């Protein structure tokens, strides 16, 4: 971190600042100019609050040169992290994972049938929401515990690990017991209490990007989970809010190379919520693979026109199969498999 003081700052104030940083275990290099002084702080500055330093009336500028995150930072963890989801590795240089399933669990028969189709098409995990974050309080809110138990049954029948969204900490025990990959939805990406709570879980976390969050804010949310004790975090890009109206959100595929550079954690893409339209799911899936994503999470439904949520963006099982087949070819071109 680099701090420069205002013109005419008394030496005693500079000494006070230097001593306070040193007492935090940081080394301070001081460059004294004719008009102002520059301090370079060396060491772990993740705990420093720039705004608090800026509150000092003698401080002119504060500039971070290192990232505010440590555990999620590639700098301190050169190897790709591989997160195991009930034995299935996510991340690394080889295999990609494909997660498929409905937006919402609609009953035992529905989810078991879809689980079979997802598996036959080549999918590796089953998704299904039982607690749904809906914009309208009058919209279907999910089957709750019953939905989770239906997912458990679908796992028993097909062997596919199950992925579901946790919306509040009061359901943590249920998820710890039943769910293999715990999804934190876009709307909860900065629910810091929830992030700390899932940081104490033993299950891996699928952390979706917030509706309007920067990549750095997103990585800081992963840092929350990791600093509470859970190193198993997978990023999921699901599109962000922009001015564009032809898609539900704008898929930001640049996050793939950026996250790969900044962090060691795996990243997967959700082309369903990103586009909001099944017509665009295949092309965006293939693009995501080409961009280097570690996997896909796709909404799949047998009868999208009567789905209880997100039918317009759900693909039928045959298209899901096509995406996997074409995706495998693209994956092989870039030296991976699916």
Asked whether position 271 contacts ligand PEP by CB under 6 A, the answer is no
Binding segment toward ligand PEP, per CB under 6 A, in 185-193, 223-231, 286-294, 323-331: 185-193
Task: Choose among 48, 51, 54: nearest CA to 67.
Answer: 48
Q: Is 273 in the site for ligand PEP (CB under 6 A)?
A: yes
Q: Which of 1, 103, 226, 267 binds ligand PEP (CB under 6 A)?
A: 103
* Contact between residue 101 and residue 111 where contact means Cβ atoms under 8 Å apart: yes
Site pattern 228..267 for ligand PEP (x: CB under 6 A): ----------x-----------------------------
* Structure letter (DSSP) for residue 102: -
Which residue intervals of the chain are DSSP H helices? 11-22, 50-54, 108-121, 145-158, 172-178, 192-198, 215-227, 255-262, 271-275, 281-291, 317-333
Assess 301 for contact with ligand PEP (CB under 6 A). no
| Residue 119 site contact among Mn ion, ligand PEP, none (CB < 5 to 8 Å, cut-off depends on kind) | none
Using CB under 6 A, pick the residue from 171, 203, 208, 248 that binds ligand PEP.
208
Among 10, 33, 133, 159, binds ligand PEP (CB under 6 A): 133
What residues contact residue 132 under an 8 Å CB cut-off, 6+ apart? 103, 104, 139, 140, 141, 142, 165, 309
Stretch that binds ligand PEP, among 6-14, 109-117, 179-187, 240-248 (CB under 6 A): 179-187
To the nearest whole angstrom, how small is the minimum distance from the Cβ of residue 131 to Mn ion? 12
Q: Which residues of this chain interact with Mn ion, rule CB under 5 A? A: 103, 310
Cα–Cα distances (Å) from 330 to 27, 253, 325, in that order, read: 49, 16, 9
Cβ closest to ligand PEP, residue 28 vs residue 219: 219
Structure tokens at 233: 């975090």
Q: Which two tokens stand for residue 164?
A: 């579901």
Binding window for ligand PEP (CB under 6 A); candidates: 12-20, 145-153, 184-192, 311-319: 184-192
Q: At what angle do helices 317-333 and 108-121 cross, to 10 degrees?
A: 30
**186 touches ligand PEP by CB under 6 A:** yes
For ligand PEP, the binding residues (CB under 6 A) are: 103, 129, 133, 165, 185-187, 208, 238, 273
């Amino acid at each position: 971190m680099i701090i420069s003081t205002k013109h005419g700052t008394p030496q005693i104030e500079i000494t006070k600042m230097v001593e306070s940083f040193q007492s935090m275990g940081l080394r301070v290099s001081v460059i004294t100019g004719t008009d102002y002084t520059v301090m370079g702080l060396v060491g772990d500055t993740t705990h420093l609050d720039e705004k608090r330093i800026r509150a000092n009336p003698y401080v002119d500028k504060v500039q971070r040169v290192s990232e505010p995150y440590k555990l999620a930072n590639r700098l301190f963890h050169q190897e790709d992290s591989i997160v195991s989801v009930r034995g299935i590795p996510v991340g690394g240089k080889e295999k990609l994972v494909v997660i498929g399933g409905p937006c919402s669990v609609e009953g035992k028969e529905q989810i078991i049938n879809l689980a079979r189709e997802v598996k036959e098409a080549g999918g590796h995990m089953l998704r299904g929401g039982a607690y749904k974050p809906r914009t309208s309080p009058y919209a279907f809110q999910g089957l709750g515990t019953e939905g989770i138990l239906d997912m458990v049954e679908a796992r028993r029948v097909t062997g596919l690990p199950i992925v579901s969204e946790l919306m509040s900490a009061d359901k943590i025990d249920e998820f710890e017991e039943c769910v293999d990959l715990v999804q934190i939805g876009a709307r909860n990406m900065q629910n810091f209490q929830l992030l700390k709570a899932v940081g104490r879980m033993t299950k891996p976390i699928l952390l979706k990007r917030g509706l309007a969050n920067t990549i750095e804010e997103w990585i800081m949310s992963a840092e929350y989970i990791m600093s509470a004790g859970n190193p198993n975090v997978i990023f999921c890009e699901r599109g962000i809010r922009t001015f564009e109206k032809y898609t539900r959100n704008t898929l930001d595929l640049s996050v793939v190379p950026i996250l790969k550079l900044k962090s060691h954690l795996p990243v997967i893409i959700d082309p369903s919520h990103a586009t909001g339209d099944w017509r665009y799911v295949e092309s965006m899936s293939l693009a995501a693979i080409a961009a280097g994503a570690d996997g896909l999470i796709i909404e799949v439904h047998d009868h999208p026109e009567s789905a209880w949520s997100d039918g317009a963006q759900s693909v039928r099982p045959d298209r899901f199969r096509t995406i996997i087949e074409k995706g495998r070819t693209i994956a092989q071109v870039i030296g991976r498999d699916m």
